[in-house]
Structure 1
């Protein structure tokens, strides 16, 4: 269980200052970050802070300062910030942008608390589809969209003369994932045809194993005079202008900034057909074999694809989408759809009604503690429950209904998830379970009502008030209502949760003629948090003139 870290107050956001965006890039410094052009485009309207740090103190400082938190890369800082900091609870908008590294090589997207994120950005359709295969429930947890990277087509532009068609650019970190070995094979074939072909490699050698391999193969293939390694190029836009071809041999890209920048600079694109490449780049630019690459390179036509980049991937197009995203309001939360999807996804697991971040065993352990307190409160009021009618409001899959049925209560349950109700009927065959909102179920007054871990899932205050009124109305005089609540110190940033205070319950009880007779607070070890069982009793009716049988609840048809 993640315990939240206090987040300092950022100060007022009145009309006296511009909105603030904190950009957090866990991998790249500001001068090489994919955020560089976005920040430059936004600085006229926003105050911007950039941090490349992974230190918690630096992250907290930047996030506390900001109104909008942009987490570039879905890596450790995104996991930590969404689980540890109550950013949305402090009124901050949270954006995560995801590239290929996180989906192909990592597990971090599965650890992010997506309910604490306002929007997830993918930079390509392929990487979106790949993550959704792994996490099919993600669209129900966070809004998302595809916004391709943008190319600054003013900066990346052809020079006064066309680049030499035999000067081939290869750009990127020199590592296995960029597949430079394939580039050597292509170069060797080209040099056999024309000794003037030359491969110009721009990028840092970040993998010693790859470096040693390339050094060895360059010698073995006698390519020493046909290849130049430049390291990182600061003015890469100028560097492109005398090159005629961009050769990309990468194993995978979420987008491929170097491909778009080179095309905008007038280079002829020759791109290895990695998964998803055909959804991003022209089909005729792709190759699968060395022979296809050589044939493509020898067809070079200067400036043939600049218009393709300008039309599809200009920075102006990207920024139009980014500005719309920054301006959009919070998503409307549909609780019925959320719970229906959750029960369907976790069918058969106690996690569908318990804590989704805990294991099955951990949830069962905490549920056992809740059940002990529930039994004590019910038996204290009804030592012999046989024949008594109990209503489980928001019964979910019937886990707690089963506990009450075992005590001897005749159980009625209601939940607006049809998937949950099917499971409740199977779990408690002798009970009556109704698919519908608990405050709208036609019900004659009952002896006892339980509403456990339900009311803080009602995010609308009016619906919360209406729900409490319905519970009080459906309780017999002399009956007992048990409400299990959680009163944390900090508000939640989860869209399906709204904490209210104990004082709010006291005021509501008074207005509904319910006596708050007991408050039982205990700690759940697995969740690592305190829970509070509110015991509310309805005053007994005045004695009737003549004795009669106790009225039973009208049992709705299952």
Structure 2
């Protein structure tokens, strides 16, 4: 049996990593990548070599990669473009050669409708497949005091709203000083593009000064970028305080680990996560955490784990990808 040659092309393939790994371990596929250096920057000679090789092309992000491949794809090839939300505010979708694109994947129902509303992509070419979460890797025993530990993953840029996470933590700490806030990810100073923006820099400087001058400063722990599976074992509540997101993997990763997600509502959050995990404001979120911790008994958040496995689990999502690739490649002349 001849394998279907699937090419993944884009500047940031981290969200597609699990999908590529699973498909590469299946007998029917051969996987290759064309890694771009930016939204519209690549080694064109390398991309042309990849193009000659592929049966099915997956553009991860609908940016310059999708423009280039939709203009260079050959008649016998099939082209999939997976879009997140960032693309909404760029010119690239307007430059797609839609006749050459076989399917647009949106990562949530809200994102699907946004791209239809703004760019009027043909609905028959659109589909929705959620992001993927490796639930088995993240499911590890919690430390004893995890229920008093809040965790936030990724605090840059400003729209991630670290200030709201600190507000939430402070209210809880003033009631019970066992609470801690764990902050995971790169610091804003590590992003030159961000730190050079006066508004962003002043925002973070204000928060860091607030923490430094607070009686609870030693209960806010900053930890660097890296694998989160071990880190989540000490987190009982994982926070999503952003102004907006496309999907936000952090709550789902926390849920897979047995953490309770605290999501301050953003547009589309209700199309991804159950309403019991969505909160109108900091006060409502604090009330829920306090209620859950009012019992001396340990909490069992197995419902959250089950939800992630059923909706974002590796088997569930990769099977959807496989079905789509097989459907499209069935029409490829090999």
Aligning the two structures, in what range does the TM-score lie when normalised by the shorter sequence?
A: 0.7 to 0.9
Q: Output aligned runs, 1:332-481, within 5 Å.
A: none
Counterpart-to-counterpart distance in 2, 1:152 and 1:330: 26
Counterpart-to-counterpart distance in 2, 1:211 and 1:61: 44
Match of 1:246 in 2: 238
Q: CA RMSD in A?
A: 2.2
Cα distance per residue 1:277-310 (max 9 Å; x no partner): 1121111211121111111222333424111212
Change (3 A) 1:231 1:51: farther
Match of 1:227 in 2: 220
Match of 2:320 in 1: 321
Counterpart-to-counterpart distance in 2, 1:116 and 1:313: 29
Q: Shift in Å at residue 24 of structure 1?
A: 1.4
Q: Shift in Å at residue 160 of structure 1?
A: 6.3
For the pair shown, the structure with the greater C-alpha radius of gyration is 1
Q: Is the 8 A contact 1:199 1:227 kept in 2?
A: yes
Match of 1:149 in 2: 131
Counterpart-to-counterpart distance in 2, 1:228 and 1:299: 24
SS at match of 1:49: strand
Match of 1:310 in 2: 309
Is 1:195 the counterpart of 2:193? The answer is: no
Gapped runs of 5+ residues in structure 2?
196-200, 293-298
Gapped runs of 5+ residues in structure 1?
1-14, 333-558
Cα distance per residue 1:147-170 (max 9 Å; x no partner): 011222211213166661111110
Counterpart-to-counterpart distance in 1, 2:134 and 2:81: 22
Q: Shift in Å at residue 218 of structure 1?
A: 2.0
Match of 2:229 in 1: 237
Match of 1:390 in 2: none
Counterpart-to-counterpart distance in 1, 2:330 and 2:288: 47
User: How many residues align structurally?
Assistant: 306
Is 1:25 the counterpart of 2:30? The answer is: no
Is 1:42 the counterpart of 2:20? The answer is: no
Cα distance per residue 1:7-26 (max 9 Å; x no partner): xxxxxxxx5x5222111131
Q: Is the 8 A contact 2:138 2:256 kept in 1?
A: yes
SS at match of 2:263: strand
Counterpart-to-counterpart distance in 2, 1:230 and 1:329: 43
Change (3 A) 1:288 1:331: farther
Q: Is the 8 A contact 1:201 1:228 kept in 2?
A: yes
Is 1:93 the counterpart of 2:78? The answer is: yes
> Out of 286, 290, 300, which is 2:282 matched to?
290
> Out of 83, 108, 123, which is 1:124 matched to?
108
Match of 1:67 in 2: 55
Change (3 A) 1:198 1:70: same
Counterpart-to-counterpart distance in 1, 2:145 and 2:10: 34
- Structure of greater relative contact order (alpha carbons < 8 Å, 6+ residues apart): 2
Counterpart-to-counterpart distance in 2, 1:273 and 1:331: 41
Counterpart-to-counterpart distance in 2, 1:221 and 1:133: 46
Change (3 A) 1:216 1:43: same
Q: Shift in Å at residue 231 of structure 1?
A: 1.7
Counterpart-to-counterpart distance in 1, 2:174 and 2:320: 47
Q: Is the 8 A contact 2:56 2:77 kept in 1?
A: yes
Q: Is the 8 A contact 1:188 1:221 kept in 2?
A: no
Match of 2:255 in 1: 263
Counterpart-to-counterpart distance in 1, 2:232 and 2:155: 16
Query: TM-score if structure 2 supplies the norm length?
Result: 0.85
Counterpart-to-counterpart distance in 2, 1:165 and 1:64: 53
Is 1:106 the counterpart of 2:90? The answer is: yes
Q: Is the 8 A contact 1:163 1:266 kept in 2?
A: no
> Out of 187, 211, 214, which is 1:218 matched to?
211
Change (3 A) 1:211 1:60: farther
Q: Is the 8 A contact 2:55 2:329 kept in 1?
A: no
Counterpart-to-counterpart distance in 1, 2:330 and 2:50: 25
Counterpart-to-counterpart distance in 2, 1:221 and 1:292: 23
Counterpart-to-counterpart distance in 2, 1:237 and 1:163: 17
SS at match of 2:136: coil
Change (3 A) 1:267 1:143: same
Cα distance per residue 1:145-195 (max 9 Å; x no partner): 000112222112131666611111101252112121211211221221122
Q: Is the 8 A contact 2:84 2:111 kept in 1?
A: yes
